Chain A
Amino acid sequence: MQGLRRSAPIFAALGDETRLTLVARLGAGERLSTSNLTEGTDITRQAVTKHLGVLEGAGLVRSTRAGRETLWELEPKRLGDARKALDSIARHWDSALDRLRDLVER
């Protein structure tokens, strides 16, 4: 359950459509430059850079410099952590209901 608290910044970082789109595009596994990621969006490169900064702050993506470009890639482990955190909320209820069943059906 501690994982949920740790994952809060991840959910906050993902609670935005633009950032989700960026994560989805990086989800193909390829490293993409800020320019690549700005293509096909209706927001400025500056705004994209800012969103990538938020994702990087949450540990969801990492950047490397390649000449004048910044290349971005996903940190898949952090996404896995977030998914586990979400699953654990639902599991809490499943196990509580199992305990209830044991108590009332015996």
Chain B
Amino acid sequence: MNEPHDRIERQTVLRAPRSRVWKMIVDPAQFGLWLNVRFPFTSFAPGQVAVGVCTVPEFADMRWEMVVDRIEAEHHFSYFWHPFAVDKNVDYSGEEKTLVTFTLEEVDGGEATRLTVVESGFSKVPLARRAKAYEMNGKGWSIVVGSIEASVHA
């Protein structure tokens, strides 16, 4: 079955050189600035189990753990993790992880950078059995919910 909803994909063009954007991803301190995590080390390496602490106030002191997958200079960075594993009382270790990939391309002659973020593998984790849900009868999930709401509020 075709499962386009097994993944979330976002693409954006940043008005900054690729080397600058790359640094924001590959440097643990800078990575933490926009992904809200603090790591007690200064570099990532493939295969590394990178453990940090969440810096979002409502999830303060929560453990952040990811397994670094591939690092290809200024082009590709990826890691596996348990998405939204935010409940301290739940052991997520038995669940499948999703794969997050960052891909960078130069645009506008190097003045800007196209960043593509893909998080995939949701169909394997409980929170996203929805992949199939979305596909049903060729209708979108929102259409189903919309029709339910319409019937309730009619």
Chain A positions near chain B (C-beta within 8 angstroms): 1-2, 4-5, 7-9, 11-17, 20-21, 23-24, 27-29, 74, 76, 79-80, 82-83, 85-86, 89-90, 92-94, 96-97, 99-101, 103-105
Nearest A-chain residue to B123, judged by Cβ: A15
Q: Which residues of B contact A12 (CB under 8 A)?
A: 126, 129
Assembly CA distance A46 to B119 (angstroms): 39
Looking at B15-23, B45-53, B63-71, the stretch in contact with chain A turns out to be B15-23
Q: How far is the CB of A16 from chain B (nearest CB, A)?
A: 7
Chain B positions near chain A (C-beta within 8 angstroms): 8, 10, 12, 14-16, 20-21, 24, 30, 33-36, 59, 83-84, 86-87, 90, 115, 117, 119, 122-123, 126-133, 136-137, 139, 141-142, 144-145, 147-149, 151-152, 154
Q: How many A-B residue pairs have CB under 8 A?
A: 124
List 10 A-B pairs, minimum CB-CB distance, nearest first: A15-B129, A29-B151, A8-B126, A104-B16, A11-B129, A20-B136, A99-B34, A14-B133, A100-B34, A4-B84
Assembly CA distance A89 to B130 (angstroms): 12
Assembly CA distance A12 to B136 (angstroms): 14
Q: How far is the CB of B141 from chain A (nearest CB, A)?
A: 7
Assembly CA distance A76 to B151 (angstroms): 10
Majority SS of interface residues in chain A?
Answer: helix
B86 & A97 in contact (Cβ 8 Å cutoff): no
Nearest B-chain residue to A16, judged by Cβ: B132
